[in-house]
Amino acid sequence: MKLPRSVREADVAGASVLVRADLNVPLEDGRVADDARIRASLPTLRLLLDRGAREVRVCSHLGRPKTDEDRAKYAIEPVRARLRELLPDDRVVVLENTRFAPGETKNDEAFARELADGSELYVNDAFGSAHRAHSSTEGVAHLLPAYAGLLLLDELAHLGRLLGEVERPFVLVSGGAKVEDKVGVLQSLGARADRVLIGGKMAQEVAERSPFQTGVDLLLPRDAVCADSFSADAETQVCSVDAVPEGWFSLDIGPETREEFAAEIAKARTVFWNGPMGVFEWPRFAEGTFAVARAVADCDGYTIVGGGDSVRAVHEVGVADRISWISTGGGASLELLEGKELPGVAAIPAEGSSSC
Q: Give, in degrees to the nearest 5, the angle at Cα 108 between 155 and 338.
A: 30
Closest C-alpha to 150, from 36, 280, 46, 227: 46
Residue pair 201/224 in contact by the 8 Å Cβ criterion: no
Q: Give, in degrees to the nearest 5, the angle at Cα 309 between 316 and 296.
A: 65
Closest C-alpha to 253, from 198, 293, 208, 185: 198
Residue pair 223/229 in contact by the 8 Å Cβ criterion: no
List for the chain the helix, strand, coil content (%; round to 5).
40, 20, 45
- Candidate list 52, 308, 318, 352, residue with the active-site label: 308
- Candidate list 46, 63, 331, 340, residue with the active-site label: 331
Is 308 a residue of the active site? yes
Any idea how long the chain is?
Answer: 356
Closest C-alpha to 325, from 300, 354, 303: 303
Read out DSSP for 99-125?
GGSTTTTTT-HHHHHHHHTT-SEEEE-
139 vs 160: CA distance, rounded Å = 24
**Neighbouring residues of 187: CB distance < 8 A, sequence distance ≥ 6:** 211, 212, 213, 338
- Candidate list 5, 20, 37, 161, residue with the active-site label: 37
270 vs 355: CA distance, rounded Å = 36
Is 178 a residue of the active site? yes
Is 318 a residue of the active site? no
Is 66 a residue of the active site? no
> For 106, what's the count of Cα atoms within 13 Å in the CB-facing half-sphere?
8
- Candidate list 64, 178, 267, 339, residue with the active-site label: 178
Query: What's the start-to-end Cα distance of the chain, in Å?
Result: 23
Read out DSSP for 149-192?
-HHHHHHHHHHHHTTS---SSEEEEE-SS-STTTHHHHHHHHTT
- Annotated catalytic residues are 37, 178, 308, 331
